[in-house]
Structure 1
């Protein structure tokens, strides 16, 4: 039996079921305004449809996970594609748990697109099953990665609830300084999400168009004996190269909008053979995100947060505050076990030390300290409402940087995850 083929098909089915689930929740929230029938009956019916589709998508996602495990011979969490797909599955599980407790359809309208974005982001990376490197060939890979991802999944649900809370309570008609700061802050969070979507649009768009470019980069390194080593490596681009690798020459480059050569070269201090390509990806993400945001603003003719705000009337912000807090309260001890305790045990086994100041370790600690501060301020200082919501939103942005920025930008022992 071709387990990997079954896994691939199950992944596609899960993706579309999540998309349909999102549509169901949106109809439950927004479509009720167009319904001539009983509003509450309409909301419950479509919320139930959205939730059932979410469960079916999660079951299909489970099939993907276990059939890939069977076909690949090891738990599928060893590279960026596998980890991000697992994180998406964990977020959906966390959402299902929270939804069964609170029955809030609005949370589904924000949590399901987050899952869709994350697994779409996973699809950017190579999906081939790769053999485990020696450091990963341990049972602690299973317990460390899965529990860390489970904790982060509840942080994601908290982020969704907190963002909805801010969209609900911020006064977008006020001109006071404090209100304007809140308005701009919420808008920037939406822009951040749109930039991630812009990244996906850029990558999949140029891949569909068959775009490619290749450079030959010459690197000079100093070995332990102080001798200079010269190496030549090939760097391939899937996006038009606005930025070329440092100290490189063009092997071939497909013309795009009359651009026959890169506009400039990456600075010399950006180390790593893929540094220029990563900077180029960041630039294209910002460009695509700015275009998408500009189109949305032209259509809406006002800030996007102000467009969403009126559709949240009738939502109790205290319920959202409670959901956000409870999700963190569940996720924090799980994250502590997975990202710190189990990670240190694995580090001792793999690298003979519990702690080594690797960038991923440092940012995992920063994430843990941030959510520790959140719980302290919440429980000891009585920070609730808007203050608590902002902490939950910022906390998940820290999580995303730990997952994406550290893996793909900062070199370290965890850099294998970005290959």
Structure 2
């Protein structure tokens, strides 16, 4: 078996093993609720037994992903974190690692229902991007690639754990039956967080569907710089609701009777990929709202209210502690990887420590946000809901830094884009 097939197979196996582990964690909690005739002691043994089964299977999946990581590293000749596919698969692996570490400390099976999906959804999202091994651009040919990216991803993985526990806390403590202004605002916040997750999963499914169908559309874009004309090509894998600015349609598969884009991207959105990025954002919103609406119809209640019974037996103080500990572990690691090591590498690669590149700015915003979170918690006593809200919002900032900046804003880190 070649290294390429070994790495691909190991990653695929890891993904499905993570799914099995997630299902077992679900059964550990739902089995207790379905068997209402069990004594409290018997139910506790059931949860503990199936919780450990889920943990062991998740650890096996992690080992499979380590096999993928090492085999791809050997094949590529460099650490496989140089593009979005590689980075997101590594980031997902670090999320699973952070979950395995935290679970050993708190041993809360219901935590697996919320933390495991964060890891395998990120891995699934990675498959949206090109997976071919690519040669490193000159600025990435440095040992700092190994140090900066791995430590930054590990720190962000513990932020993901803090996010999962924080979201669980909110679902546990928000009053979904209340009628006060505060109750309504909190419900909207929880629903927005769940909508974001649903939209991401739906977008992944959408990409897989159109890739399987072989959909494609191509545009040519002519740009003139100092009298020199250059022609770039922009390839779409989703039906082009919006075309690149000042482009020519070369080829487009029909979709629901649509034979040409509905409108053109604004003129200020420059670059061959600008229109495609805007098209991606529009499709994400469309499928997100459709999927969320369908789930609301099935549940006949807000998704937060539907999930609330799963966490009613969990001590909210434990969830608050898990969220805080995850962030407290991740913050110094991210400080090293996301800021200090990044600035040293930037000095070597570009001759300056700081250049206000969009990814640098958003990394700083992320660092400052979590600094504020820890400051308010330790000095102002912001625990419970306040801390949980900050943990959830903070991870949304992390995901925008990792993905949104690449898809929406051009910069020196755009080599990691699609």
Matched-pair contact (CA < 8 Å) for 1:164–1:320: yes
Matched-pair contact (CA < 8 Å) for 2:220–2:249: yes
Matched-pair contact (CA < 8 Å) for 1:198–1:286: no
Render the CA deviation track for 1:3-47: whole Å, top value 9, x for unaligned: 121111100000000000110111111221113542112211211
Aligned to 1:367: 366
Aligned length: 414
Instruction: State yes or no: 1:150 paired with 2:154.
Output: yes
Render the CA deviation track for 1:152-207: whole Å, top value 9, x for unaligned: 00000000000000000000010000111001110011011111112111111111
Aligned to 1:347: 346
Distance 2:117 2:367 in 1: 25
Aligned to 2:260: 261
Aligned to 1:244: 243
Matched-pair contact (CA < 8 Å) for 1:162–1:389: yes
Aligned to 1:224: none
Aligned to 1:43: 47
How far 1:364 moved relative to its partner?
0.6
How far 1:228 moved relative to its partner?
3.3
DSSP-derived class of the 2:214 partner: coil
How far 1:220 moved relative to its partner?
3.0
Over aligned residue pairs, what C-alpha RMSD do you find? 1.0
Aligned to 2:31: 31
Report the more deviating stretch, 265-274 or 27-36: 27-36
Aligned to 1:400: 399
How far 1:106 moved relative to its partner?
1.3
Report the more deviating stretch, 156-165 or 348-357: 348-357
Aligned to 1:111: 115
Instruction: State yes or no: 1:139 paired with 2:143.
Output: yes
Aligned equivalent of 1:188, options 174, 187, 192: 192
1:6-405 alignment, distance < 5 Å = 6-35=6-35, 36-37=37-38, 38-221=42-225, 227-405=226-404
DSSP-derived class of the 2:224 partner: strand
Distance 2:233 2:359 in 1: 27
How far 1:314 moved relative to its partner?
1.5
Render the CA deviation track for 1:241-280: whole Å, top value 9, x for unaligned: 1111111121111111111111111110111111111111
How far 1:310 moved relative to its partner?
2.2
Distance 2:311 2:319 in 1: 12
DSSP-derived class of the 2:159 partner: helix
DSSP-derived class of the 1:232 partner: strand
Matched-pair contact (CA < 8 Å) for 2:110–2:310: no
How far 1:116 moved relative to its partner?
1.2
DSSP-derived class of the 2:197 partner: helix
Matched-pair contact (CA < 8 Å) for 1:2–1:71: no
Render the CA deviation track for 1:264-300: whole Å, top value 9, x for unaligned: 1111011111111111111111111111111111111
DSSP-derived class of the 1:315 partner: coil
Matched-pair contact (CA < 8 Å) for 1:347–1:355: yes
How far 1:311 moved relative to its partner?
2.5
Q: TM-score, normalised by structure 1?
A: 0.97
How far 1:374 moved relative to its partner?
0.6
Q: TM-score, normalised by structure 2?
A: 0.97
Report the more deviating stretch, 384-393 or 46-55: 46-55
Matched-pair contact (CA < 8 Å) for 1:4–1:72: no
How far 1:360 moved relative to its partner?
0.7
Report the more deviating stretch, 234-243 or 153-162: 234-243
Matched-pair contact (CA < 8 Å) for 1:201–1:288: no
